[in-house]
Structure 1
Amino acid sequence: MSMFKIFNVSGSAVSAQSQRLNVVASNLANADTVAGPDGSAYKARQVVFTTTPMGGPGTAGVTVSQITEDNTPGRRIHDPKHPQADADGYVTYSNVNTVEEMVNMISASRSYQNNIEVMNTTKSLLMKTLQMGQSN
């Protein structure tokens, strides 16, 4: 694989992980929201990745193919005094699991950092190759 293709592959992964981090941030921001006027609460979203060919045999990157909604029911808490409580006195909150989202955030952040490190290492190797060519 050409060293320049490494930038394409790692760059696609950085872009995909950036989108994943944005989705996680949105999920965490809405973790404690209650059902709106339409009766439905915020639903957690998840990023689905797809392998994408990147200009040659054996070279593949990653893209975000879709962002899906988790259809599990939201948390229901009995609080009859809450303005959004239903007829039975329950308030429906989003279905975001903050612990899972924090793990997802750490994983996405580490993947992002690792791909940046791959690009920095590749850049360093290319610079050393150029320096070798100058010394002759």
Structure 2
Amino acid sequence: MDLKNSVEVSASGLRAQSLRMRVIAENLANADSVATTPGGQPYRRKVASFESEVDRATGAEGVRVRGIEADQSAFQRVYQPGNPAADAAGYVLKPNVNSLVESADMKAAQRAYEANLSAIEAAKGLTMRTIDLLK
């Protein structure tokens, strides 16, 4: 694999991890939101999924976003009869967002982003060394 392909692969990883971090940030921002109507549905956690993609022109394998799906896990029910979003029994549905899980996912996405950035920097350094040798 040449240096251009390695940069393209890492760049696709940067785009994927950037999207993943945006989705996680949205989840964290809505972790405490509830429905606006009594007995309504609160915010549902979102998860980004990826798949490998082969560039037919270069043969390099990168990452492509498959989609952003809603997590179908159950909502948490909390007894709060005075809450305007409570149902007839006094229960409020809370989002299925676990802040601890989201924080761990954010850290993993951040590390993956940094690893791809380091790979691009290494390719850049190799290119500069090659140019210096050719002088």
Q: Which residue of 1 aligns with 2:54?
A: 53
Q: Which residue of 2 aligns with 1:90?
A: 91
- Paired with 1:98 and 1:48, the residues of 2 have a C-alpha distance of 19
Q: Once the two structures are aligned, what percentage of the paired residues are identical? A: 36
Query: Is residue 46–residue 70 contact of structure 2 (8 Å, CA) maintained in 1?
Result: yes
The runs of at least 4 consecutive aligned structure 1 residues that moved more than 6 Å come to: none
Q: Structure 2: any 5+ residue segments left out of the alignment?
A: none
* TM-aligned CA deviation for residue 76 of structure 1: 0.9
- Paired with 1:9 and 1:41, the residues of 2 have a C-alpha distance of 38
The correspondence of residues 29-108 of structure 1 with structure 2, limited to 5 A, is 29-37=29-37, 39-54=40-55, 55-57=57-59, 59-108=60-109
- Paired with 2:127 and 2:34, the residues of 1 have a C-alpha distance of 53
Give me the CA root mean square deviation.
1.1
Aligned-partner residue type, residue 29 of structure 1 = A
Query: TM-score, normalized by length of structure 1?
Result: 0.94
Q: Structure 1: any 5+ residue segments left out of the alignment?
A: none
- Paired with 1:68 and 1:118, the residues of 2 have a C-alpha distance of 29
- Paired with 2:52 and 2:36, the residues of 1 have a C-alpha distance of 37
- Paired with 2:88 and 2:36, the residues of 1 have a C-alpha distance of 15
- Paired with 2:3 and 2:122, the residues of 1 have a C-alpha distance of 10
Aligned-partner residue type, residue 123 of structure 1 = K
Q: Number of residues paired by the alignment? A: 133
Query: Is residue 27–residue 101 contact of structure 1 (8 Å, CA) maintained in 2?
Result: yes
